[in-house]
Amino acid sequence: MGTKFTQVFIRTAGLYQLDVPTCLSFCYKIRLVFVPLSKVQGFPMNSLKITFKLIVAAAVANAFQGTSGSHQWVAPTASDLRSPCPGLNTLANHGYLPRNGRNISVPMLLDAALEGFNVGADAIIQAAKVGLLSGDAPTTLDLNALALHNLVEHDVSLSRGDLFVTGDNLHFNETIFSTLANSNPGKDYYDTTSMAGVMDARLAISLATNPQITNTPKEINVRIRESSFVLSVMGNLTSGVAPKEFV
């Protein structure tokens, strides 16, 4: 991509605060469509300008899709169901999953994770299939049913209390979350080192307060995967650094 195109793109990206995936999509479209057209001898300059503006408009529209239109954040009503998983709740609050939290199939979960978080099926399909065991329906689940203890829900959560200790493993627990929220002091991000410290601290608390804690290799692997999702989905997939404001 030429210097002029790059300069225009940087200005546009800065103006509209485009995210990295949108920027990459923008560059790809420029390279695929605009650059070849610009090399066609005699191609009208006005048409080139219009093509460039259309690509910019598409990039901007894509950047704001998650906060407006069908994927605008809407708080759940009293009748809407939510799960112990903040990620699934976010997908429902933004309409990637049914906002009422009911009758959700495995394909719906996989599509929502990919569209909303850019997380592939291979990362969540096992948990999605196991989640079907939370209710009686053979092919769908309700989000609140995922609170069934020790199915996919587990002790030593980053944001929910242990069921035996608090009696509530479904709703957000600010005291529990404060272990993560207060970690990595003096920095505006979480990273793999700080997250490991949070996991150790949460485990120590549960071991000290929950005589019925379940802490088998299954739960350990689930907690590791969930913590890695926080850093990779809300931050940089390569460095494992996630801004605190996103978490």
DSSP H helices in 148-191: 163-166, 174-181
User: What average pLDDT does the segment 212-226 reach?
Assistant: 96
**Would you state the structure tokens that stand for residue 156, as one six-digit string?**
């030593």
170-218 tens-digit pLDDT: 999 999 999 999 999 999 999 999 999 999 999 999 999 999 999 999 9
Residue 105 β-bridge partners = 140
User: What average pLDDT does the segment 62-79 reach?
Assistant: 76
**Would you state the structure tokens that stand for residue 100, as one six-digit string?**
């009422």
Strand 140-141 and strand 189-190: pairing?
unpaired
Q: How confident is the prediction for the chain on average, in pLDDT?
A: 84
pLDDT of the residue at 236: 87
Query: For the chain, what are the domain ranges?
Result: 3-67, 71-148, 154-247
Number of residues that this document lists for the chain: 247
Residue 64 β-bridge partners = none
DSSP letters along 49-64, please?
HHHHHHHHHHHHHHHH
Q: For residue 185, which phi and psi values (nearest 5 degrees)?
A: -60, 145
User: What average pLDDT does the segment 11-27 reach?
Assistant: 49
78-133 tens-digit pLDDT: 999 999 999 999 999 999 999 999 999 999 999 999 999 999 999 999 999 999 99
User: What average pLDDT does the segment 141-163 reach?
Assistant: 98
pTM: 0.74
Report residue 35's pLDDT band, with 50, 70 and 90 as the boundaries.
low
Q: What is the share, in percent, of the chain residues with pLDDT greater than 90?
A: 67
Report residue 51's pLDDT band, with 50, 70 and 90 as the boundaries.
low
Which of 67-81, 97-111, 163-177, 218-232 has the weakest average pLDDT?
67-81
Helix (H/G/I), strand (E/B), else coil: 104: strand
